[in-house]
Amino acid sequence: MGNRINWQTYIGVVLLWFIQLGMAAQGMPLTNEAAKLCQQKSYAAALKKADEAIHSDAESRDAYTWYVHGFVHKEIYKEEELGNRQSTHRMQAEESLLRAMMAENAARHEEMIKLALKYLASTYYNDALQSSQVISGEGESTPRKLFADFERLMNVAVPGTDFLSYQKELEKSLGQHYFAMWQRDTEIAKWRELASKRYESIIAMDNTDSDAYYNLAVIDYNRAVFMYRKLGPDTDMFDAITLQEEASALIRTRALVNMEKAYALAPEKGEVVRGIMMMHRALDHEKDVAYFKAEIERLISEGKIKADQHK
Amino acid sequence: MFSLRHMPIFRFVLFVWALLFAMSSSAQSIPDDNTMAMIRANYLYQFASNSNWPSEWKKGTFNTAIVGNPEVFEIMVSKYAGKPIGSQALNVIGATEMTVTPQVHVLFVDRSKKAELAKYVKEFKGKSTLIVTNWEGALAQGAHINFLSIDGSIRFELNKTAMTEAVITPGIKILQWAIE
């Protein structure tokens, strides 16, 4: 019985809300027509009507008019310009939606406006990550600017958003990109240094990020391995000894230190356990190698990591 | 009033996650290289090229046998096999081939085959076979050169008397870099 009463109350509230919206929209023919055309995916016609609506004295003061105008631009962006970082439709959508938020009756449409803004914010975030993977110089201005746009819109759409995880993802993405650039030409130290800086910045934001410690360790370990790979029949004995002392010091004082931090934070992560085992092997630490090999076996037997990835 | 439907945010989030997944799958990985094997193989080549063998051992191939360490064996084969040691070409062999090889110039016995050292010392007694090992106390057991691990770096110690008995003369670089 109680449930029945609750349902009746709920349906009543919803009906009342629709009636209110309908009454409010009665004097907005242009906006309503734009919304209808947009629903029918007739975007060009919808945009024309929405443009007329925002220039109409009768309709331009209403938040809903600006919301529809922004929404139409947003839909056109999705259809035609998704991934285009210079999209004019996205900029127009943003402007109109922010304008809708400033209208006197914004509160009535706030939820929908914020949802649209959140979507736009997400596209800026996505673009920031994508652009971080294609930069070829040292300039990070494009991904940084796109990320700032994401933050700006999210602060309106979802006030109080915690950006830490997003910031870390951007730094990680940049770090991975620089690492990949370094792998293409390991003689260019600049890429390695930039990758390290990005992971160090993650640790500065969050000193419990095991991935950042792992990635820092991998950079230094790779650097040491690249040095060892230079050993060959033409290497002089003095050079070989100097090279291996430099490489082993790199592993001992940097790579292993960071890998141990990663391990302390994620002792059952397969790649970390394998990583620490490899570093001990590179330092000829027999007992440690045996210990971490046993750990890998245990994690495999417990189904926590896959066997084929950690042979 | 028409209610405009939003693209569900979760669909977009999925797109972002797909991108992140693609990135994390190309995450930085640890190279498989066995660096200890790399440095040991290089040392074996250095010992071969910086020592002097009797003239009757300077004919045919320069045979280097690797026992108990497949990774050192593989690196020797891929990086050093065929390279000149004086006028001889370096040939890398395993334990089974040793029995049919008349002259083994360098024999590396890994610590995994520690128990077999005595057998090899006996077998190569009176021959100019340089026996190299990698465990503590191996020189006293008959090895000529033994690898030492110092702070993760590989260095070596040698038994010069035993080398002289085997008529193998260590070069100046070997003497210079050996740990006393």
Note the pLDDT tens digit of each residue in B117-172. Answer: 999 999 999 999 999 999 999 999 999 999 999 988 999 999 999 999 999 999 99
For A250-274, letters b (16+ CB in 10 Å) and e give bbbebbbebbebbbebbeebbbbbb
Please report, for chain A, the start and end positions of each structural domain, with discontinuous segments joined by +.
1-161, 208-311
* Inter-residue contact A257 to A280 (CB < 8 Å): no
User: Using the beta-carbon criterion (under 8 Å), do B6 and A115 form an inter-chain contact?
Assistant: yes
Other CB atoms within 10 A of residue A201 CB: 17
A248: nearest CB among B7, B80, B153: B153
pLDDT over 90 at B48, yes or no: yes
* Inter-residue contact A154 to A116 (CB < 8 Å): no
Which residues of chain B make contact with A222, given a CB cutoff of 8 A?
Answer: 28, 30-31
Looking at per-residue confidence, does A113 or A83 come out higher?
A113
- State how far residue A94 is from chain B, nearest Cα, in angstroms: 15
pLDDT over 80 at A168, yes or no: yes
DSSP A80: I
Mean pLDDT within B52-57? 96
**CATH number for the segment(s) B32-177:** 3.40.50
Which residues of chain B make contact with A228, given a CB cutoff of 8 A?
Answer: 33, 35, 38-39
A176: nearest CB among B13, B26, B49: B26
CA–CA separation, A288 and B65 (whole Å) = 28
User: Using the beta-carbon criterion (under 8 Å), do B28 and A275 form an inter-chain contact?
Assistant: no
Query: Which residues, in sequence order, are bridge partners of residue B146?
Result: B133, B157
Note the pLDDT tens digit of each residue in A259-293. Answer: 999 999 999 999 999 999 999 999 999 999 999 99
CA–CA separation, B108 and B43 (whole Å) = 11
- State how far residue A131 is from chain B, nearest Cα, in angstroms: 12
Nearest Cα residue to A30 out of B145, B2, B120? B2
pLDDT over 50 at B57, yes or no: yes
User: Using the beta-carbon criterion (under 8 Å), do B28 and A222 form an inter-chain contact?
Assistant: yes
In the structure, what pLDDT confidence band is assigned to residue B17 with cuts at 50, 70 and 90? Answer: very low
User: Using the beta-carbon criterion (under 8 Å), do B46 and A36 form an inter-chain contact?
Assistant: no
pLDDT over 80 at A7, yes or no: no
Which residues of chain A make contact with B45, given a CB cutoff of 8 A?
Answer: 233
* Inter-residue contact B153 to A245 (CB < 8 Å): yes
B152 touches chain A (CB under 8 A): yes
Mean pLDDT score of chain A: 90
**CATH number for the segment(s) A1-161:** 1.25.40
With tokens 């033994």, the residue in question is B146
Query: What is the DSSP pairing of strand B153-158 with strand B145-150?
Result: antiparallel
Note the pLDDT tens digit of each residue in A132-157. Answer: 998 876 589 999 999 999 999 999 99
pLDDT over 70 at A15, yes or no: no
CA–CA separation, A132 and A126 (whole Å) = 10
DSSP B6: P
Please report, for chain B, the start and end positions of each structural domain, with discontinuous segments joined by +.
1-30, 32-177
* ipTM field: 0.85
Mutant choice from A19, A231, A238 vs B, greatest count of B C-beta within 10 A: A231
Q: What is the pLDDT of residue A26?
A: 60
Rg value, chain B, Cα: 26
- What sign results for the dihedral spanned by CA atoms B14, B19, B24, B25? positive
CA–CA separation, B155 and A299 (whole Å) = 35
φ, ψ for residue A280, nearest 5 deg: -65, -35
Mean pLDDT within A222-235? 96
DSSP A48: H
Query: Which residues, in sequence order, are bridge partners of residue A263?
Result: none
* Inter-residue contact B36 to A284 (CB < 8 Å): yes
This prediction has a pTM of 0.84
A122: nearest CB among B12, B153, B173: B12
